[in-house]
Chain A
Amino acid sequence: MKNHRIPLAAAASVALMMTLAGCSGTSPSSSLAGGTAETGTPVSGGVLTVADADQPLSGLDPVMAQSFNSKRLAAQFYEGLLSINADGTELLPGLATSWTAESKTEYLFTLRKGATFHDGKSVTANDVVYSLKRIVDPATASPYASLYSIAAVSAVDEQTVRVKLSSPQASLLRLLAQPWSGGIVEKDWTESHSAAERKTQENGTGPYRLKSYAEGSLIETVAYDGYWDAPKPYIDQVNYRVIADESTLVQSLTSKSVDAGQVKQPTSVQTLQKSGLTVGKTAATGVQWMAMNTLDGPLADVRVRRAFSLALDRNKINQISTLGTGQLSAVVPPGDPLGCTVDASTPYAAQNIGEAKRLLAEAGTPAVTVSIKVGSNNALAIKAVQLMKEQLSAVGITLDIQTVAFEDLVSSVLSDDWGADMVNLVSTLNADASQYVALWFAKGSATTKVEDAKLTTLMTDAKSVPTTDEARKAAYQKTCDYVADQVFMVTPFAAPTVNDVWSSSRLHGFTPDVTGTRLFLKDAWVSE
């Protein structure tokens, strides 16, 4: 067990950083493909105006793009060796046209001919070697470094790159398919620009290149005419305006002063749909984690935890809190490509008041008070805990709700003493499914309030299964079910954390994707 301690703890801290990055600005989320792409003949030209709530907080350098707003723009400028389809279930060619797993720890990638960086230079094997080494180099301090098990990267020839792993890594190809966690950069350009310059400048291979960057107001991008997938992108120019306030953003969309944007609130979605705008099908990646301190206090007794879980009517909580936009969720949200499902077979997930009372009586605590800290900015969670309080009171559990500033909540989670029996955070789409569980249950992590050997084993197995996505998904489902059985946390629902909205009279052929970063904007076109 000991050898797993440090990697899992490190993964937990990365997961928390990413979760917090999402919460502090906008949240990484997803939009399923769902056949929203429009058929028709693409037309080149035109200008698209997009409204975003914020600008890149962690800059444009792809491997440093930790916040969602950075990923969202980096996805237009940079590409990985591979790419993913809209719902994130399939790996596709990217800057590599093919790849081969020579063994569990060795991969060969054949590079695409004709791909160039925005300064016109060709993508070479040396650039790829440099990029991958740079990600895992501690000097880079990339938030994605700890997710890789790369031991060596070498150029076999001008078009082929070999990657050797120190141990089997199930998530390797998926990480290489995301423009941020696997973004390929040009060696000379990167070394000749400082970290500060790389925050507001770019030289990627993506469909769009940066035209201007006005801090806090407007980012202009233009189509890269040397893009390898010509005639894409079809839209000549995409302007990203900053509209921080969601109600203003909604008004801008309904008045057609902007063509597309992303909203968070279910009520905004309803308003925009009524106004005739198109809302992309979304994936529920924002799970409401209500983590329990199982080491101390009333929740140290599994019978109390199970009674807590049995008291909840999850369907009602989900329906009322998310206005039907959410889904029942486990610790890994259903919107993730490797997400877990919650159904009738999920342990202690269906409401059973009688059994809950019996368990509490058996535990010798027919009346118990449980405190929970919730971020004052998390509207969905505040709704949910109020409903939970009402439902829990029916079995004799008093839920003491403490709404605190987000910063205080983070301090609590990171400290040894939560200051409450439960804490609530909301997830974002993670680079790898292992991060969802590592945040809360990694042995040795400051955020962990669970000690369970079986859980640690399940997590380790799920992370290292070097087979298909189906096998990985099954491994995470097993982990999720065990968490539900022991009620290490309660996850009443997961909701989309952002929703893509656009005017279908202006923007055509746009397919939202699971990452919410507009990966397929290059396929879309505009009409006047």
Chain B
Amino acid sequence: MTATLTDPTTVTPVIPATRSGTRRRPPVGLLVGAGLLLLLVVFSFVGPLLRPFDAYASDSTPLTGPNAINWLGTDDLGRDVFVRLAVAARASLVVSFFAAVIAAAAGTLVGLVAGLWGRWADAGLMAGVEILLALPSILLALCAVTVFGGSVLTVTLVLALVALPQFARLVRSRSLELRELDFVHSARVSGIPLLRIALRHLLPNTFGVIAVQFANTAAISILLEASLSYLGLSVQPPTPSWGRMIYDAQTYMSTTPWLAVAPLGTILMLSIGWGLVGESLSARRRSLI
């Protein structure tokens, strides 16, 4: 009797298993992507220390071009663009990372419950997910930010909500596939509670798809956050954000284009960084299946 209650994980490997005996070099894309992300993290903390300016202080001549003192020039209020760009990186990194974390956690939970329990739980949860998917993400974000006000927390939660359905569908799909495998059947026949099966047997086997989706979500969240900032609905001034910097720069586009080019460049870097990480993880996962 005791043998039947043994957790089958002890004898069932995580699927797909890594091929034994070979050490793979990390793909170039992963290294470049992770490098870009690391660079921006370092920039966000070290950048402000490199120049003797406060990101909020209007202590220089407005709209000066890049020079030896103000490396990326100054904005329309006389604030140093380089320092503001670095400080703004924190908001973008925090929003993109935590939006993806929250979406991954909540989406995985929904997907696991729907996939493992099935029937009414599956039907109900997936109907909710479909409704969320049917709503245009930017519109949903706009409504939520309008109601609850623009702040880093609100924007992070809104972006997580927007990304949640993708995780839920992926994890549910994977769960449906896994629950038909022998080791899951064995566990159920052995009388192991569904919660334990979900946590011990299904969850580890969904990490691959979650990781890929995580990176993609982070990349998309940056663009959405920038869009909300551009519309004035994300972090509030004078706190810098890349999207808001582009919004403020648009009236000076013909005379001082660097004001828009600098945040545009960092948004691209962060987006490409997450994108490369996601693509590399996806490629690696495909090669292992």
Contacts and interface: CB of A to CB of B under 8 A. Distances in A.
Contact of A320 (B62, B231, B233, B238): B62
A416 interface: no
B238 A390 contact: yes
A402 B149 contact: yes
Interface centre among A270, A320, A403 (most CB of B within 10 A): A403
B252 interface: yes
Interface string B238-260: 10000000001011111100000
Interface in B7-60: 56-58
Interface stretch (A193-201, A281-289, A375-383, A497-505): A375-383
A271 B57 contact: no
Given A383-B76, A390-B57, A401 B146 contact: no
A265 B77 CA distance: 15
Contacts of B57: 390
Interface in B250-272: 250-255
Contact of B146 (A316, A320, A389, A408): A408
B150 interface: yes
A286 to B, nearest CB: 16
Contacts of A271: 254-255
A405 interface: yes
A404 B236 CA distance: 10
Contacts of A360: none
A369 interface: no
Interface centre among B149, B233, B254 (most CB of A within 10 A): B254
B255 A267 contact: yes
Contacts of B146: 405, 408
The 10 closest A-B pairs by CB, nearest first: A376-B232, A386-B238, A267-B251, A403-B232, A386-B237, A401-B236, A265-B251, A401-B237, A320-B77, A320-B62
Interface of A: 247, 265, 267-268, 270-271, 316, 320, 376, 379, 382-383, 385-387, 389-390, 401-405, 408
Contacts of B58: 316, 320, 386-387, 390
A250 to B, nearest CB: 8
Contacts, number: 54
Nearest to B250: A247
Given A320-B62, A390-B57, 19 more contacts: A247-B250, A247-B254, A267-B251, A271-B254, A271-B255, A320-B78, A376-B231, A376-B232, A382-B237, A385-B237, A386-B77, A387-B77, A389-B238, A390-B58, A402-B236, A403-B232, A404-B149, A405-B146, A408-B146
5 contacts: A270-B255, A271-B255, A320-B62, A320-B76, A386-B238
Interface of B: 56-58, 62, 76-78, 146, 149-150, 231-233, 236-238, 248, 250-255
A247 B252 CA distance: 10
Contacts of A389: 56, 238
A401 to B, nearest CB: 5
Contacts of A383: 76-77
A268 B78 CA distance: 19
B194 to A, nearest CB: 46
A335 to B, nearest CB: 22
- By secondary structure, the B interface counts as loop
A403 B236 contact: yes
A267 B237 CA distance: 21
Contacts of A403: 150, 232-233, 236-237
Contacts of B253: 247
B74 to A, nearest CB: 11
Nearest to A389: B238
B71 to A, nearest CB: 21
Contacts of A265: 251
A402 B235 CA distance: 10
B238 A376 contact: no
B254 to A, nearest CB: 6
A390 B56 contact: yes
A383 B78 CA distance: 11
A211 B98 CA distance: 60
A376 B77 contact: no
A267 B255 CA distance: 9
Contacts of A405: 146
